[in-house]
Structure 1
Amino acid sequence: EILNPTRQTKEKVARILAMHANKRERISEAHVGNIVGVVGLKASVTGDTLCDPSNPIVLEPIDAYEPVISVAVEPRTHADQEKIEQALSKLEAEDPTFRVKHDEDTGQIVISGMGELHLEILVGRLRRDFHTQVNVGKPHVVCKETVEQAAQAVAVFEKEIGGIRHFGEVLLELSPRERGKGNWFVNSLPDESLPAEFVPAIEQGVTESLESGVLLGYPVVDVAVALIGGTYKESFSSHLAFKVAASMACKEGLQKARPLLLEPIMAVQILV
C-alpha cells in the first residue's frame, strides 16, 4: 500500500512493470532511478506523487504546456458515443497536455494537444486501444482572448422562476494583467455593502464567463476582475441571481475593454 499525498488517498499496486520499448516485464520491486509502470491505481493521475505512507512528501507537479492545436471528433455510430467519452476521459487523465471540451454551440467533442502528430497518436489510440470508430475534423490553432484596457460594466438579473423572485445587481471592473499571470478575481467591497455569502456565486459567474470570450469563444486569460459594486434585496436576492448577473456584467465588460485575440508562439533555438 502506498500513499498519494497529492490527493490525500492511499493506493494499492497490483503489479510493477519494467518497460522496454513496447515490451513489459513484471518485476517484484523497483529501486531509486528506475522508470516503471504500475497497475491497479484508482485515483492517481499524471503529476501526482506516490510515496511511503510513513514518510509523506509532495513533489512539484509537472508544469504542463497549454495545447496549441484542436480538432473536433465525433463517433461514427451512436453506440460509440459513450465509449469515446470514457476513453477520452482516461487519455486526459494520463496526459497533462491533452484537453477535452464539449462545444456547447455545435455539440461536438473538441480535443486539443501540442501538435498534429500528438493528436494523430491519440486518435490512433482511440481506434486501436479502445476499439472506437471516430470521424476527425480539420485541425485549427488554439487561440486565447484577453483585453487591452480597463472597463467597468454593470448588470442586473431580476426574474421570477418557479414562483420565486430572484434579484441581483453586480458592478465589475476588468483590467489587463501581464501576459502569463492568469486571471484574478478580487472582492473590493466592504461586507456591509453586499453580504459575503453572495461573493462565491459572483466569482463562479465570472469564472464561467471567462471560459468563453466575446470574439471567437476562446478562453479568456490574463484579466483581473474586481467586484466594485452590487445591490441586493433581502427578500429576493439569491446566489443564482448574483451568479447570472456577474456573468452578464463580465461579458459586457469584455466587450468594452477592447478584446484581443492571442495566438500561440514558440521560442526555438536552432543550432547549425
Structure 2
Amino acid sequence: MKQVLIVGAGPVGLTLGTLLCQYGVECVVMEKRKSRLSASKAFSLHARTTEMLRLLNADIGINTKAVKVEEMRLYSQRNLLSNMRFGKSSNTECRTIHSYPQSLLESELETAFCSNGGLIEKDATVFQIDHQPQGYLVHYKCQDDVKSRFFDYVVGCDGANSIVRQLANIDCSESAYSENFLVADCKVESMSHNVDYQKHGHTFLSSKGYVMLFPIDRDYTRVVIDTDKQYSGESESTNLTYLNRELEARGLSVHIGDVKWISVADVRSSLASKYSVEVVE
C-alpha cells in the first residue's frame, strides 16, 4: 500500500489526508506545533470550500456550528451604499459565506482524519528529505528525538514558509501590499450605528480609514481596520483602547469588550513556480 506524508495539519492538510484515507491510502500528517492554536485566524468558508468539505462525508458541524452570512453591506460616511449578496437566493448551497473559525474547523477535521485511520504526529519538524529509487526517506525531529521514515509521496501543506517547498527547491514569487490591518475577535457591547452585526457583514469607508464588522460566531464579531501599527504585542487593555479610539475616529461609536484575539496582519500574494517535482535533493 502506498504511504503518503502530509506536512502541515491545517485545513488543507487535514482535508487532503481525510480524502486519501477514504480512498484507502495510508496517510500520516506531521505538524511542528505541539498543540493547536486557539486563535480563530481564518474564518470564511466560501461555497466551493463548503462543497469540498461535504465530500468528506464527515460530521464537521458546518450546518450547526457555522454562522451563515448572506450579504455584505457597504457604507460611505455611515450612509448605506449597497447590499452585496454572496450568491443567488435560488441556490441554497452557494448563497452564503459560512463563518467558521479556523481553530474549530481544524479540530473537527482532525477528528475526521483520525476516525478514517489517519495518524498525526505533533511536535514533528521535517528537516531533510532524501530521494530514493522508490520514494523518499524523510528525516524529522519529534519530541527531541531524530527519526527517519520512508514514504512513497511527500506533500507540503505547511504554509507560506513551507519547509517542503524549500527542500524541493521550488521557488515562490511573493508580493506584499502596503496596508496593514488590525484584526480583532471581540464582543461588541454597544454600537450607536443601527446595524445587525451578528447576521450580516458590514464595511464602512471614510476619510479616516476602513472598518469591517463580520460575525465570527454567535457571540463574537471580527473587527478589521487598516492601521499603521506593525505589531500587536502590547497589553490587551492597550490594544483595546487603541481599537475603540480608532473606531470612534472613523465615525463609529462602538464599545468593544472581551477581546478573544487580536493581531496585526499584512496581505501578501504568493505563487509557487511549480506544484510537483519527482526528485527532492
Larger radius of gyration: 1
Give me the TM-score of the superposition, normalised by structure 1. Answer: 0.23
